Structure 1
Amino acid sequence: MPTRRRGAALEQAILRAAMAELTENGYAGMTMERVAHRAGTNKNAIYRRWPTRAALGIAAYGQFVATNTDVPDTGNLRDDALELLRRANSTFSSPVGGILRALLAGARDDPHLLAQLQERTADAGSATWLTILARAVARGELRPEALHPRVATVAVVLLRDEFITRGHPAVPDSVLTEIVDEVYLPLLCGRGADRPNP
């Protein structure tokens, strides 16, 4: 008789099962019943932790993308930002990106879940972007005022917008360069600049 799992061990089994279902069947084909069967548990154990299918899918996706934590360190901010955008572009245009788009659609009526998903999007988490900005500050490329979480993720949010609103299968590299050179770097370099008194 298998050992009954509890706590974190059971949660990890459920999340792995959910991501396997998302990968094999997509968000539309993922059901609580299928996840429970794959994880060797029951639906009640899932619902106690994740009350909706969208919540479970987002948690599984978030854990999946969190495994890629390598932060580029090319020696300059522009190349670091481009590398992060290129990675995100590759993810968004892959089958994993299809899962992300389905989850975004599934969470659109729940602002809390939608915010969670956006925060967990591959390479969109503010911690990764703040890391490259902090290195740029240490090198003297930016002022410390540039270290703001909402500002840090502007580039990848713009990239995500290209997929969501324009329906690109993959965003051309020229667009990534434009986002970095025409929007992101000017915004960051303008942080902390002298402003007129109100």
Structure 2
Amino acid sequence: MSLTADGPGRRRRGATLEKALLDATWEELVEKGYDGLTIESVAERAQTARAVIYRRWPGKPELVRAAIAHAGLNETVPVPDTGSLRGDLIEALRSASRRRAPMLALFLSARIAGFYEDTGTTLADLRGEFLAGRVSLVDSILDRAVERGEADPARLTPRVRSLAFDLMRHELLLTHRAVPDDVIVSIVDEVVLPLVVAR
């Protein structure tokens, strides 16, 4: 039976095989960190051969970068619809904080420092890889608020649009823990809404 088989007479190919390889890489990265991850360990977890991996990615840095992008694309990010801009922003920040705190802790830990050294990338680059190809959650919320007449489109510069999540990320960077609810409410009520609400 082939090492890439899922069962008797069946072989994984194309997107199915690639997903299995990237899922295995992400799991190895989370469990062992970058330095502990090897092509051999990924192949073993994915039940395939090293050559199958090397046909798609030339080495560990490229494989890990692809796995990070894959994990980001597969993260389900529902757009909240509470009926108000304030409610939507608070719910979006709560949800993002819960999901992102463990991921950010990984990206900031010494367990992934080798990736930064091998690739010359930064945390911002890694975040870009993770979020690539996704519709902006905050843009969806703000655009809907404009349609409802809650937000002034003239005030929604790129910096203002990103402010709520930038401030949440700052809190995550400082604490490596999910952002407390009172801080999220403060970000929305004291900083974001005064900047974006229609006058």
TM-score by length of 2: 0.72
CA contact (8 A) 1:137 1:143 kept: yes
Q: Which has the higher contact order (CA 8 A, sep 6+)?
A: 2
Aligned partners of 2:137 and 2:53: how far apart in 1? 30
Aligned partners of 1:44 and 1:167: how far apart in 2? 41
Displacement, 1:28? 4.1
Deviations, residues 14-44 of structure 1 (Å, cap 9, x unaligned)? 1111122134334443222211222233445
CA contact (8 A) 2:85 2:150 kept: yes
Aligned to 1:110: 121
Match of 1:139 among 142, 148, 151: 148
Q: How many residues align?
A: 185
CA contact (8 A) 1:133 1:146 kept: no
Secondary structure of the residue aligned to 1:73 is: coil
CA contact (8 A) 1:50 1:56 kept: yes
Unaligned runs of 5+ in 1: 194-198
Aligned to 1:173: 181
CA contact (8 A) 1:143 1:189 kept: yes
Aligned partners of 2:125 and 2:90: how far apart in 1? 24
| Cα distance change, pair 104–23 in 1 and its aligned pair in 2 (3 A) | closer
Unaligned runs of 5+ in 2: none
2:18 is equivalent to residue 7 of structure 1: no
CA RMSD in angstroms comes to: 3.2
Deviations, residues 71-125 of structure 1 (Å, cap 9, x unaligned)? 110011111111111112212334x4433434875448325x843524635xxx6
2:32 is equivalent to residue 25 of structure 1: yes
Mapping for residues 1-198 of structure 1, pairs under 5 Å: 1=1, 2=5, 3-47=10-54, 49-51=56-58, 53-65=60-72, 66-94=74-102, 96-102=103-109, 105=113, 106-107=115-116, 109-110=120-121, 114-115=124-125, 117-118=127-128, 120-121=130-131, 127-145=136-154, 151-164=160-173, 166-189=174-197
Identity across aligned pairs (percent)? 43
